[in-house]
Structure 1
Amino acid sequence: METFKLYNGVDMPCIGFGTDRTFVFIRKNILAGMVDFLKDITIGHGYHWKRDTSIIKIVKKAPQYDCHLFDTSSAYGQSERVLGKCLKKYSRDEYFIVTKLSNQEQREGDVRKALMRSLKHLNVDCVDLYLMHWPQTDTYLECWKQMEQLYKEGLARAIGVCNFKEHHFEELMKSAEIKPMVCQIESHPLFSQNKMLKYCKKNSIQMMAYTPTGRMDKRIRESEVLRTIAEIHHKDVAQVIMRWHYQRGVIPIANTTNLEHLQSNMNIFDFCLEQSEMESIDNMNIECRLRYDPDTVDFTKC
C-alpha cells in the first residue's frame, strides 16, 4: 500500500475502509441491545445483522487485500469493538487505526477518558490518528488542547479534525500549540472541496475524504463523463473516482459490505488519469453537499 507522509513524519496509507455504525456486539445495557436486535430481525428484516456480519468478514480479510487503513469513531456504535476483535490476529504494524472524539464526549469534557475507552475497545496501546469528529461550538477549542497533550504523551501518533471549514481552522490556530495534521471532510465529484484542498495543502494538512463516491448518487452513477473515462481505462466508475482522489493527494475512506467491492476499491494503482480527465471530473462539482453542514448541523444529533 502506498502512503502519504504527514507533516510530523507519520506515513499514512493513501486509501482506507470506513466501518460506519455497527450494532452486533451486546451493549452494557443488555436489555436495550436485545430489543434492538429483535426489532432488526423482525421489523427490519435483519438489515443491521446482515450488514454488521458482512463488515466483520471484510475487516478480517481486508489486510490480505492490501487495505491497511481503518476509519471508525466512538460515535459509531460498536464499530471500535469490531475492529479490535477482528484485527487482533494481525501484527500491529499491519494496520493503521483512525478513531474520533464524538460530540457527546466533547460535551463531557474529558478527552483522556474518551481516548482511553477507545483504546480499550480497539485493543491497542495507541491510535495512529485521533480526530475531532466535529467543530462543536463552545467545546472544540478546549478539547483540542487536551488532544495536544495526549499526542505529546504518545497515545496518538497523529491528531487532526473532521468537518472543519477555513474559519474553524483560523479560530483554532489562535490558541493551538500543534496544528492539525489531518482534516477529514465530505468530498466527491459533486462536492469536490477544491478550495479546502488548496487550504490544506498550503498549510501542510493532509485531507481525507468521506463519502468519496457520493453514495453513488444517480448524477454520479449515470455520469457520461465518468462512464467514458471508466471505459477508456477498463475500470468502473467507483475506481475512477477513487483514483481521482488519490491523484489530488486526498485519502478516500470508502464503505462497503461487499468483499469484492473492497478489492475493487483498492485496485486503482495500475492506471493513471490524464490531466484533462482530472479536470473533467473537477468540472462536475456543483457544491452539492450530501451530508451535514458543520455550520448548521445540530451537534446533538451527529
Structure 2
Amino acid sequence: MQENPTLPLNDGKSIPQLGFGVWRLEEDDAPKVVGAAIDAGYRHIDTAQGYDNEAGVGRAIAEASVGREELFITSKLRNGHQGYDSALRSLDESLARLQLDYLDLFLIHWPAPQHDRYADTWRAFVEAQKAGKVRSIGVSNFLPQHIQRIIDETGVTPAVNQLELHPAYQQRDIREWHRSHDIQIECYSPLGGKDSKLLDNEVIGRIAETHGKSPAQVIIRWHLQQNLIVLPKSSKPERAKDNFDVWNFVLSGEEVRRIDALDRPDGKTLPQPEDNNELF
C-alpha cells in the first residue's frame, strides 16, 4: 500500500494528510463506499452530523479491514447543537452512531456568529478533549476573528480549521494567518465543488497529460505539496481509489506556479462563513 504522510498538530497528535470526505454520501451507501476507500489506503475519514450518514460510516469502521487505531475519524457538530451542554450531549450521540469510544477530531461545523454560541461550544470541546472523548479539537469555516475569540476566551487554539480551498479559491492571506498560529488547514471541495470547471481547465489538463495522471490527481497533488490536508470525496469506489494514487509523481515548481495562477477572487462555491447561520 502507498504511504499517506501525516502532518503534526499543535496538540502533539498527527493527522493523515489525505482524507476521504463523505458529504452527500447516502447513509445506506456509506458502508460499501467507505469500506472500499479504507481498502484503497485511506485512513482518514471525514464525516459530520449534518451529513446524516454517521451510522453508515460507523458500520464501515466496524467492518473495516484494519483496526480502529489505524484510522483517523472526524465528525462535526451541527449548528443547532451549539452551546455547552448540547454540544456535549451531541458528541455522545455521534459516538453512539459511529460505534466509537472516541473521535480523533471533532469540529464546530460553522461559527454561526449571529447565534453567538460558538465560544461556549468551544469550552465544551475543550472539556471533551480533557475527558478523552476526542483526541483533537478544531473548527470548520471559521474566520480569523472567530478563532481569535475562542483562543482569547479559553487559551486553547484549534488544531485545524476546515475550509473550502482549491486552485480557483486559494485563500492565501487566510493560510498565512493560520500558519502564524500553528493551525493546520483542511481543504474541503478540493476539486472545486459541484459546478467547478477546474477538472476541465486547460492548464491542469496539460499538466495531467505530462504526468500520465488525471486532472483530479494533479489537483490533489497540488494541495499535498503545499502541506495542506486534502479531503476529496467520491461515491464511486474506483474514483476514490484513483484519488489516492497520487504518491508516485511530483509537480515541478513551474507546474505549481501555473496552478497557483488560477486563483480567482470569485472562486468560492459554498456559503461564506459568516453567512451560514442556519441551525441545521
TM-score by length of 1: 0.86
Quick one: which of 19, 22, 26 aligns to 1:19?
Answer: 22
Kindly indicate whether the alpha-carbon contact (under 8 Å) linking 2:163 and 2:185 is maintained by their aligned counterparts in 1.
yes
Unaligned runs of 5+ in 2: none
**Rg (Cα) greater in structure:** 1
Bigger mean CA deviation after superposition, 236-245 or 170-179 = 170-179
Going from structure 1 to structure 2, the CA distance change for 1:172 and 1:108 (only over 3 Å counts) comes to closer
Could you say if the C-alpha distance between residues 212 and 218 of structure 1 is closer, same or farther in structure 2, counting changes exceeding 3 Å?
A: closer
CA distances 1:176-214 after superposition (whole Å, capped 9, x unpaired): 221000100001111011222111111111100000001
Is the aligned partner of 1:84 residue 2:58?
yes
- After superposition, the C-alpha distances for 1:143-188 in whole angstroms (9 at most, x for unaligned) are 1011101111111110000001112122222202210001000011
Structure 1 stretches of 5 or more lacking a match? 25-51
Question: Residues of 2 paired with 1:261 and 1:125: CA distance?
Answer: 31
Q: Is the 8 A contact 1:148 1:177 kept in 2?
A: no
Offset from partner CA, 1:69-114 (integer Å, 9 cap, x none): 110111111x110111111133111211000111011168521101
- Cα contact 1:189–1:241 (8 A) shared by 2: yes
Matching residue of 2:37: 62
Amino acid of the structure 2 residue aligned with 1:135:
P
Structure 1 Cα separation of the partners of residues 221 and 139 of structure 2: 24
Aligned to 1:110, what secondary structure does the other structure show?
A: helix
Aligned to 1:266: 244
Match of 1:250 in 2: 228
Pick from 121, 135, 141 the counterpart of residue 163 of structure 1: 141
| Aligned counterparts of 1:217 and 1:104: Cα–Cα separation in 2 | 28
Task: Identify the structure with bigger relative contact order (alpha carbons < 8 Å, sequence gap 6+).
Answer: 2
**Comparing 217-226 and 124-133, the one that deviates more:** 217-226
Residues 266 and 281 of structure 1, relative CA distance in 2, 3 Å threshold: same
Q: 2:268 matched to 1:294?
A: no
The alignment covers a number of residue pairs equal to: 272
Matched, 1:113 2:89: yes
Answer yes or no: is 1:8 the counterpart of 2:8. no
**For residues 256 and 136 of structure 1, what CA distance do their matches in structure 2 show?**
27
Distance 2:175 2:84 in 1: 32
Matched, 1:238 2:213: no
Q: CA RMSD in A?
A: 1.6
**Whole-Å Cα distance in 1 between the matches of residues 192 and 260 of structure 2?**
14
Pick one of 101, 111, 132 that aligns with 2:108: 132
